[in-house]
Structure 1
Amino acid sequence: MNVLEIRDLGVDYLSGSGTVHAVTGVSLDLRRGEILGLAGESGSGKSTLAGAVARLLRPPAAITSGSVVYHRQDGTAVDVLTLQKNELRAFRWKELAVVFQSAMNSLNPVGTVGAQIDDVLRAHAPRMSRDERAERTAELLRRVGISADRRRSYPHELSGGMRQRAAIAIALALNPEVIIMDEPTTALDVVVQRDILHEIRALREEYGFAVVFITHDLSLLMEISDRIAIMYAGRVVEIGTARGLHEGARHPYTVGLLRSFPRLHGPREELLGIPGTPPDLRSPPPGCAFHPRCGVSVAACSSVVPVLGDGVACLLNDGTGVS
């Protein structure tokens, strides 16, 4: 059963030098309790998509099309994009929470970690007593691997991994159904990354929430995700299970990403990068946006925009037509 359904979502950034089409016609389903990875190079639209789903975008960003339907446990559904200000405030944290890329920047530097969890509880669970909030704060910190006595610590007194764990604790405060994690392990060393990933999986199993996990590191997503969506130039170009993409990626861009990191097993292979650079989204190339960088493109790729059919948007693989 889907907890979130994104349909034909479009987001533009308006500027004097032209309109940047950051997200174009994205449709995705997030199943209840799954981890959906979202991968792509910088500038592919991943964080913009997440910001649109959570209604966190500010001008000059503008949502130009689409819907984001959230399905509650009781069977009711609501389009997040139509929520009024007071409804949106109630929706966030209780039903959807966000863990941002840099915990040092997302956490308040002049507030203790415990006070910041307490702020969420006071604002969204006003019936909780002071003692109940203190108990819940200590429980959340312990659950993410932080000693309860660190609730009086300020963000700068914590390591990078502990700050990221604290940000996850804040997101879990009200047991939301969906958590969006925007590159939560960026700038952490590989040992701490593995600890955070293990914690996310364990928490998902315990609380049953669904995760949208955003990163440019496809190898990391292969380890944690149930399914993975690949974004390029504001569009989803391939989606499938982690195993399916690892063993049989069909879009040339996905293949290029997979060939950009080494395999731990098997024969030694030369690492191959993707030539060229991502397109300028103020004036993307006609046809498939990836064709100027694609080593297997054909003439039709420069004029026909492939749609996402059977899990891939590529004329050489699906032949589903044009958008």
Structure 2
Amino acid sequence: MKKKKIKIIVASLILLALAIPTSVYGYSYHSYDVNLKNAETLLADEKYDESAKAFLNLKASKFSNRDASLIDTKVKLISELKQSKEVFNSAEKLLDENKYIEAINSLKNVKQIDKSRYDKAQEKIKEVTNLYITDNIAKAKAEADNKHYESAIAFLDTVLKFDQKNEVANNLKVTYNKELQSIKEVEASKQAIDQASQIQQGSTKESNGTKSSSVNSTASNKSSSSSNANNTATSKPTNNTTTATDKSGYTVTYNDSWFRVHLNSGVATPEGFGIQVIQAGSQPGGIYYNFLGNNVKYQITFHLPKGDFKVSDVSSNDFHLIPSDIAGLTKNQILSGDITAVYKGKTYTGSFSRVIN
């Protein structure tokens, strides 16, 4: 009986000895499995730092051998998702500051594996691009309102880098280029007028310097000037220089729309007269010309494609316009005509043929 009890006790101890390690192993594996699921939950909840730590702790477990590759993949994924979330949040802050280009660049760095943000990022890129285009078009219009057409065109070029077929930007660019060209043409006209004024001023100074030495000569010629006041000296040159000598003491030479006055002694006077500038313009469109001189009455017959166009006036620094619909000519084409001018009671004529600037 005693032997039987002893056998039972020994068997129980053996079973207990076998059961304890198995139970401990089973408990440890269960705990590992729970921790693995917890790490996955933290990842799904976007608690990236905690999830990464949980996966790294699992890697230290003796049960991780079978999941080593999975754990490494998860740790790498966590790093990429964390970075993707950071750039997405950064892009939203940049948008709040209207920094559209920086925001677009950040959104482009959102990872495609970031399922919760990648599609949103793509939509945001389209949205921000439209905002950026709208903003630059508004800035271009504001610059154009202030006549800053070069700056306006620069903003439109920025738009066209994103959208080459943007109809609004392309149409505005055409308009602003025309306005800019018109401004340049007006500036060119002003420069031509300034140059003409400087030429006249220089000639006047030259005349003042020679007047004192020419007083006696002028006085001696007064009687002959009055006696010949009704005489007419006529010059009808083509493009070659032609000379008409007046008995009153001066000589008039002509060359392609300009009459030059010299004393018979050969000294130039400031009394030149004729057309100085012929150029095309667009505001309004047509051919602009001036006729300089000292109270010289003139008549010009312009030979135009649609027929002759006659004008009569008195010399001045003003520019005159032949409208486009009448002129029928544009820049770099040839304009020809005939001039009749009355200088000191005598009539002078000449023909010209000039390229339109």
- Where on the TM-score scale, by shorter chain, does this alignment land: which range? under 0.3
Please tell me whether Structure 1 or Structure 2 has the larger radius of gyration of its CA atoms: 2
| TM-score, structure 1 as length reference | 0.20
Say which structure is richer in helix: 2
Bigger relative CO (Cα 8 Å, ≥ 6 apart): 1
